């Protein structure tokens, strides 16, 4: 990684922070999560620009690949709340299980009905 790349990556990360700050500022006027607003602002910015700068693409790919890191502490904390549920924990888990199973069945079935008939053409797209 050359010195130039480091500077570019730092700038790209600074861009992400900047857009988050913009989103945070906007969240005082719009009752939406700050990160979501930052995401939408950056998305609009990219639409205006018409392309994704290389350094930004690299940095975001890196960040998203390691997204799991950020959820280790909340998952540890979730256990604390799960313990508080006591006997009802199983009912709570069952709610997650049931809704995941049913909704996945529904989307898979519906998706297959919508897209399944054009199966042959999928193979050609695979290379792209």
Partner 1 sequence: MDWHSIMQLVSLEQLLWITITLFVYVLAGWIFKFFSHNILFHPIVVGAILIAGIGVVSATPLKSYLLLVSPINWMLGPVTVALAIPLYQQIRQVYAAGSKGVFVILLGGCVAPLLAIGWLGLFDFSDPVKLSILTKSITTPLAVDTANMIGGIPELAAGVVVITGILGVMFSQVIFKLTGCDDLRAQGLALGTISHAIGTARAHQLDAKAGAFSTMALCVNGIITAIVLPLAFMLFA
Q: Within positions 42 to 81, which residues make up the interface with partner 1, using CB under 8 A? A: 42-43, 46-47, 52, 56-57, 59-61, 63-64, 66-81
Using the rule CB under 8 A, is 1 a contact of partner 1?
A: no
| Minimum CB distance to partner 1 smaller for 7 or for 52 | 52
3-state SS track over 33-97: CHHHHHHHHHHHHHHHHCCCCHHHHHHHHHHHHCHHHHHHHHHHHHHHHHHHHHHHHHHHHHHHH
| Minimum CB distance to partner 1 smaller for 3 or for 113 | 113
| Rounded distance between C-alpha atoms, residue 81 and residue 100, angstroms | 21
In the window 75-114, what residues touch partner 1 (CB under 8 A)? Answer: 75-82, 85, 88, 91-112, 114
| Minimum CB distance to partner 1 smaller for 11 or for 13 | 13
């Amino acid at each position: 990684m050359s010195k130039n790349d480091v500077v570019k990556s730092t700038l790209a990360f600074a861009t992400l922070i900047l857009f988050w700050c913009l989103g945070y500022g906007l969240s005082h006027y719009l009752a939406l999560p700050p990160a979501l607003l930052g995401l939408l602002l950056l998305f609009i910015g990219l639409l205006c620009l018409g392309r994704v700068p290389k350094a930004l693409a690299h940095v975001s790919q890196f960040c998203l690949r390691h997204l799991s890191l950020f959820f280790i502490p909340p998952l540890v904390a979730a256990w604390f709340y799960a313990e508080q549920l006591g006997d009802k924990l199983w009912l709570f888990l069952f709610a997650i299980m049931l809704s995941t199973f049913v909704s996945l069945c529904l989307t898979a079935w519906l998706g297959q009905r919508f897209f399944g008939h054009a199966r042959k053409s999928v193979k050609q797209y695979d290379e792209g």
